[in-house]
Amino acid sequence: MSESLPTLAIVGRPNVGKSTLFNRLVGRRRAIVGDEPGITRDRLYGTAEWSGRQIRVVDTGGIIPEDKELIPSEIFRQAKVALEEASAIVMVVDSRTELAAPDMELSRLLLKMGKPLFLAVNKVDNVELEAAAENFRRLGIKNLVPISAEHGNGVAELLEEVLKVIPDGGSTETETDELPEVSEEEESADSAQTRMSAPTSETKVAIIGRPNVGKSTLLNQLTGTTRSIVSPIPGTTRDAVDEVVERDGHKYRFIDTAGIRRKGKTDLMAEKLSVVMARKHMEAADVSILVIDASEGVTGLDANIAGYAHESGRSVIIVVNKWDTVVAQAHKMREQAGTPEAERMERKSRSKMRVAMKSADQGEYERRVRENLKFLDYAPVIFTSAIKGQKIDKIFETIERVAKERRKRISTSEMNRFIEHVDFERASVPISKRVRILYMTQTNVAPPTFVLFTDKDVKLHFAYERFLENQIRKAFGFEGTPIWIKVRPRHKKR
């Protein structure tokens, strides 16, 4: 899973070549999530591959305000969220500019983090410029690599240096090795009953979404209007504060509520921060609430954030907020039917989403949302108006339900009875790609993880996996949570 990959963060002042370097490192390959439109727009995270190893790369550019007067501590503060999770950091400078006080300040702050730090002196397009790179030694960063991000010179060397110091994560091999081999005896000893794991004492909730969709408003409703104990408690990082709400005997911890209320200074910064925050908040959560603005429909950035939610293995609830605006709009259109204003709106209503909005039909609207976020087909959708405090009870009930589902465990014997009854002939998979499932077992919860033991050592065909997942959901539910399926060829008995 990409989540377990070590991360390399790229930092530096505007225009030094961070995004050029990022593109060099991650190439033009598409994100893992699929072919949903807009998902690769303005990429912040990507995966770099080098001699069989993979690392995640994050470009902190854009999180940093493009402000000339800017003090580096501000650059640092904004980029910090992305830096905290990094295994190594590359500071980029422009060899064609004079070394200035802000660079010194930034390197000082970065050195203090105590993480492996590299200095990429960029725009060294020819050998004559290499001498200039030496001037940057004054920044005190030992690992200095002259590069030309644009032409690719030195980038491989930089990556090699980085790979030497960061942990070798993300190899699927090691992941598979940790899985238990289930013996026939264990299988029969396994209780036939589907057990629920002991409920954890609290459910951790992340509220995610792009700027202005109503995350803070919803948070206020969830933590404020209930008759509950709300206690701010320090979160995992120094400036993060969680709020805990108790309701019907259950505790809900809203992750980093200060972060949810924080706004970026510019639109671009706010957008990028929303992606960084979503990833960060999900890390600490069981359930994420993905908030979408009903008046705008699913945008590219929504799909981007949704993709990270899906990959993270956290449960997802889609909240379509500001439904009041859609209702008001539809009402207005009905009143004005036949007028020039209506004609104008009619012309604007060409997209399918607009058609759904026009009728304020939740069923139709939900279909459109699902069409745009196909990979989240397991996520419940709730329509709400946070500003009016609507559906707050329903949201809590849904959190409770999906939190339970993600911890559900199916016994191996039950799983095997299920496998016997699945008609795999119905999965449209080419004969050559078919495998025989010998047996199947759930090895983990949160998210539910299944291991298939098969007769052949082949990667499961996409359609086959999809089919199997649908059948599992039909039989056992697992609402709101992704399901992970791993395949292991059965070792031949001697």
Binding site for ligand GDP (CB under 6 A): 12, 14-20, 61, 122-123, 125, 148-150, 209, 211-217, 321-322, 324-325, 385-387
Q: Closest distance between ligand GDP and the C-beta of residue 48, in Å?
A: 16
Query: Amino acid identity, residue 213?
Result: V
Pairwise CA distance, residues 446 & 451, whole Å: 15
CA quadruple 38, 43, 44, 46: dihedral positive or negative? Answer: positive
Q: Closest distance between ligand GDP and the C-beta of residue 365, in Å?
A: 15
Closer CB to ligand GDP, residue 19 or residue 454? Answer: 19
Pairwise CA distance, residues 255 & 265, whole Å: 22
DSSP state letter for 129:
G
Pairwise CA distance, residues 142 & 55, whole Å: 22
Closer CB to ligand GDP, residue 83 or residue 213? Answer: 213
Closer CB to ligand GDP, residue 301 or residue 451? Answer: 301
Pairwise CA distance, residues 351 & 343, whole Å: 15
Q: Closest distance between ligand GDP and the C-beta of residue 167, in Å?
A: 27
Pairwise CA distance, residues 469 & 103, whole Å: 51
Closer CB to ligand GDP, residue 213 or residue 415? Answer: 213
Q: Closest distance between ligand GDP and the C-beta of residue 180, in Å?
A: 43
Pairwise CA distance, residues 392 & 220, whole Å: 11
Cα–Cα distances (Å) from 170 to 98, 304, 442, 452, 486, in that order, read 39, 22, 21, 20, 15
Q: Closest distance between ligand GDP and the C-beta of residue 391, in Å?
A: 10
Closer CB to ligand GDP, residue 23 or residue 411? Answer: 23
CA proximity to 320, closest of 360, 264, 378: 360
Q: Closest distance between ligand GDP and the C-beta of residue 328, in Å?
A: 8
Q: Are the beta carbons of 255 and 179 closer than 8 angstroms?
A: no
Q: Closest distance between ligand GDP and the C-beta of residue 155, in Å?
A: 9
Cα–Cα distances (Å) from 246 to 202, 263, 341, 405, 442, in that order, read 9, 27, 49, 20, 32
Q: Closest distance between ligand GDP and the C-beta of residue 490, in Å?
A: 49
Closer CB to ligand GDP, residue 216 or residue 449? Answer: 216
Could you please report the per-residue DSSP string of 386-435?
GGGTTTHHHHHHHHHHHHHHTTEE--HHHHHHHHHH--GGGS---GGG--
Rounded to 5 degrees, φ, ψ at 237 are -100, 165
Closer CB to ligand GDP, residue 46 or residue 209? Answer: 209
Pairwise CA distance, residues 249 & 240, whole Å: 25
Closer CB to ligand GDP, residue 3 or residue 150? Answer: 150
Pairwise CA distance, residues 269 & 356, whole Å: 31
Interior CA angle at 86 toward 83 and 87, to 5°? 140
Pairwise CA distance, residues 369 & 270, whole Å: 23
Cβ count near 27 (within 10 Å): 10
Closer CB to ligand GDP, residue 211 or residue 489? Answer: 211
Q: Closest distance between ligand GDP and the C-beta of residue 446, in Å?
A: 27
Closer CB to ligand GDP, residue 62 or residue 482? Answer: 62
Closer CB to ligand GDP, residue 324 or residue 361? Answer: 324
The H or E element containing residue 36 is none
The H or E element containing residue 143 is strand 143-146
Q: Closest distance between ligand GDP and the C-beta of residue 322, in Å?
A: 4
Q: Closest distance between ligand GDP and the C-beta of residue 13, in Å?
A: 7
Q: Closest distance between ligand GDP and the C-beta of residue 274, in Å?
A: 8
Closer CB to ligand GDP, residue 325 or residue 349? Answer: 325
Whether a cis peptide bond, with omega within 30° of 0, leads into 447 is: yes
Dmax over CA atoms of the chain, in Å, equals 82
Rounded to 5 degrees, φ, ψ at 477 are 90, -105
Q: Closest distance between ligand GDP and the C-beta of residue 429, in Å?
A: 42
Closer CB to ligand GDP, residue 129 or residue 475? Answer: 129
